[in-house]
């Protein structure tokens, strides 16, 4: 075990709040949905039981209709805004009213395979069965509320749902959001971190206007889906859900469960996801459903088509050409925005910096698709960033310096998952 692995474990342990892990104690002092999924991958390398508990704790906050919130406020902490009072979801425990990218099924499949490889499948089978039901309920919620027309994509109702908060993909779709009644508020993020690394005031106003809209709708997700001022088919969530459904189907088979419904979701996605291909820019990208317009941006999420299991020689080649062009421009792959784009900003959050968790998904997808050299570059760049700068939230793709919070849980988890021979 390397020194880095020791530090990574120590970070996870320090951020452990008993059954769940905070992304970062100061900036994000609650449980975040997709953070916890990735964190479980890290725990699985040294404490299998704790890995399962991380996901189980998240699903304890699942709503009766299957929805799984993006934040669970297990304890009070005024270090973050907007807190439970602003969301006002009326739940116990208090939660936000929006969701996040559904990576959990993929992670549970990984945990299950790793338990099976260690000869512990019988021990973990009851927990896997229980989680399977929870995951199925969540994916059904996605099918009902975020893809009612069975078009095979995931509609995001808030930039925070995509996990890529201030991606330029949301700039144009965000324009119609009325921010005139947002009122005064005090951000906490810019009190912890350099404002140059964070979303702008206009972006925050839009985030809050959408929270206020959802709250006024009583977090009725059917009503929100009909009338939300922001409805964008997100390329990241769509690829991640397709992948997650493939993994959920594999779990169904391993656990002797019926997978017909899941197979139908996969078929819908395989038939419909092409609406996220921008033929002009020759890239996968998000699409505003209110206008039908593609974002046209090449982001790190564009490269998740491999992870989703899509195989189309012509499109794959176009994506690989983007990859190779970008790889010539930056020292560290994969920047969250194309560096040839005029909006590229090397330290501003999802407009440039490299994120270890996205790299993990991209690297996994490229390796599975047989693009070994590129997969290796993504993995070794990620580990080099961590070795050179520490376990930051994100990294400058040009000089490798850390951006955002330090001692970040999911970065530590990816280091463990990628360093530990499986």
CB of 35 or CB of 268, closer to ligand GLC: 35
**Are 273 and 242 contacting, i.e. CB atoms less than 8 angstroms apart?**
yes
Cis peptide upstream of residue 82 (ω within 30 degrees of 0): yes
Q: Nearest approach, Cβ of 392 to ligand GLC (angstroms)?
A: 12
Q: Which is nearer to ligand GLC, 93 or 259 (CB)?
A: 93
Active-site residue set: 165, 393
Rounded least distance, CB 148 to ligand GLC, Å: 25
Interface residue with ligand GLC, options 11, 15, 28, 338 (CB under 6 A): 28
Could you say whether residue 74 binds ligand GLC (CB under 6 A)? Answer: no
Nearest to 244 by CA among 87, 376, 135, 373: 135
CA distance 361 to 309: 11
Site for ligand GLC (CB under 6 A): which residue of 20, 34, 63, 204? 34
**Residue 207 bridge partners (DSSP):** none
Closest approach of ligand GLC to the CB of residue 281, in Å: 24
Place of tokens 């993994």: 247
Q: Least CB distance from residue 199 to ligand GLC, whole Å?
A: 9
Cβ of residue 34: shortest distance to ligand GLC, in angstroms?
6
Which residue, 30 or 265, has its beta carbon nearer to ligand GLC?
Answer: 30
**Identity of the residue, 83 or 163, whose beta carbon is nearer to ligand GLC in the bound complex:** 163
- The span of 26-34, 213-221, 246-254, 329-337 binding ligand GLC (CB under 6 A) equals 26-34
Distance CA 283, CA 300 (A): 11
Residues binding ligand GLC: number (CB under 6 A): 7
Task: Kindly indicate which of the ranges 28-36, 144-152, 310-318, 378-386 contains the residues binding ligand GLC, using the contact rule CB under 6 A.
Answer: 28-36
Q: Residue 12 or 262: which CB sits closer to ligand GLC?
A: 12
Interface with ligand GLC (CB under 6 A), residue from 16, 35, 169, 205: 35
Nearer to ligand GLC, 24 or 305 (CB): 24
To ligand GLC, the closest distance from the beta carbon of 409 in angstroms equals 8
Q: Is 23 in the site for ligand GLC (CB under 6 A)?
A: yes
Distance CA 220, CA 393 (A): 32
Q: Binding marks (x or -) toward ligand GLC, 162..181, rule CB under 6 A?
A: -x-x----------------
| Selected range binding ligand GLC among 30-38, 59-67, 265-273, 370-378, rule: CB under 6 A | 30-38
Of residues 20, 21, 31, 32, which one binds ligand GLC by CB under 6 A? 32
Nearer to ligand GLC, 32 or 170 (CB): 32
Considering only the stretches 11-19, 31-39, 122-130, 277-285, report the one whose residues sit in contact with ligand GLC under the rule CB under 6 A.
31-39
C-alpha span between 357 and 371 (Å, rounded): 19
Least distance to ligand GLC, CB of residue 411, Å: 10
Under the binding rule (CB under 6 A), the answer on residue 43 touching ligand GLC is no
CA dist list (Å): 168 to 199, 246, 349, 351? 11, 29, 11, 7
* Contact criterion met (CB below 8 Å) for 269 and 304: no
Which range of residues in 29-37, 58-66, 190-198, 289-297 is near ligand GLC by CB under 6 A? 29-37
CB of 144 to ligand GLC, least distance (A): 24
Rounded-to-integer distance, Cα 405 and Cα 354, Å: 13
The residue among 165 and 316 lying less far from ligand GLC, judged by its C-beta, is: 165
Q: For residues 383 and 333, what is the distance between their CA atoms, to the nearest angstrom?
A: 11
**Which residues, listed in sequence order, are joined to residue 287 by a DSSP beta bridge?**
233, 294
Residues forming contacts to ligand GLC in the complex (CB under 6 A) are 23, 28, 32, 34-35, 163, 165
């Amino acid at each position: 075990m390397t020194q880095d692995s020791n530090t990574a474990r120590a970070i996870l342990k320090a951020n452990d709040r008993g059954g769940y892990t905070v992304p970062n104690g100061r900036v994000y002092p609650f449980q975040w949905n997709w953070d916890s999924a990735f964190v479980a991958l890290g725990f699985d390398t040294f404490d299998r039981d704790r890995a399962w508990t991380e996901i189980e704790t998240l699903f304890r906050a699942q709503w009766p209709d299957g929805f799984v919130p993006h934040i669970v406020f297990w304890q009070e902490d005024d270090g973050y805004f907007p807190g439970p009072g602003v969301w006002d979801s009326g739940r116990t425990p208090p939660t936000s009213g929006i969701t996040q990218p559904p990576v959990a099924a993929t992670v549970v499949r990984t945990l299950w395979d790793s338990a099976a490889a260690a000869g512990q499948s019988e021990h973990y089978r009851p927990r896997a069965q229980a989680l399977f039901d929870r995951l199925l309920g969540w994916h059904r919620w996605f099918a009902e509320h975020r893809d009612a027309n069975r078009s095979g994509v995931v509609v995001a109702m808030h930039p925070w749902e995509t996990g890529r908060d201030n991606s330029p993909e949301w700039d144009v779709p965000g324009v119609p959001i009325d921010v005139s009644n947002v009122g005064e508020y005090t951000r906490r993020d810019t009190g912890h971190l350099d404002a140059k690394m964070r979303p702008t005031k206009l972006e925050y106003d839009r985030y809050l206007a959408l929270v206020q809209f959802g709250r006024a709708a009583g977090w009725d997700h059917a009503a929100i889906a009909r009338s939300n001022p922001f409805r964008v088919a997100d390329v990241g969530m769509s690829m991640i859900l397709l992948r997650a459904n493939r993994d959920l189907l594999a779990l169904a088979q391993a656990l002797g469960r019926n997978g017909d419904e899941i197979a139908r979701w996969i078929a819908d996605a395989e038939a419909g996801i092409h609406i996220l291909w921008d033929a002009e820019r020759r890239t996968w990208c998000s699409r505003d459903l209110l206008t039908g317009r593609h974002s046209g941006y090449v982001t790190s999420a564009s490269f998740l088509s491999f992870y989703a299991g899509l195989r189309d020689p012509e499109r794959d080649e176009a994506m690989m050409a983007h990859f190779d062009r970008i790889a010539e421009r930056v020292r560290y792959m994969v920047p969250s925005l194309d560096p040839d784009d005029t909006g590229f900003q090397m330290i501003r959050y999802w407009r440039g910096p490299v994120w270890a968790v996205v790299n993990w998904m991209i690297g996994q997808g490229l390796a599975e698709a047989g693009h070994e050299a590129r997969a290796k570059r993504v993995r070794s760049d990620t580990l080099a960033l961590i070795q050179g700068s520490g376990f930051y939230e994100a990294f400058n793709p040009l000089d490798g310096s850390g951006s955002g919070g330090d001692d970040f849980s999911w970065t530590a988890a990816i280091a463990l998952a990628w360093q530990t021979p499986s």
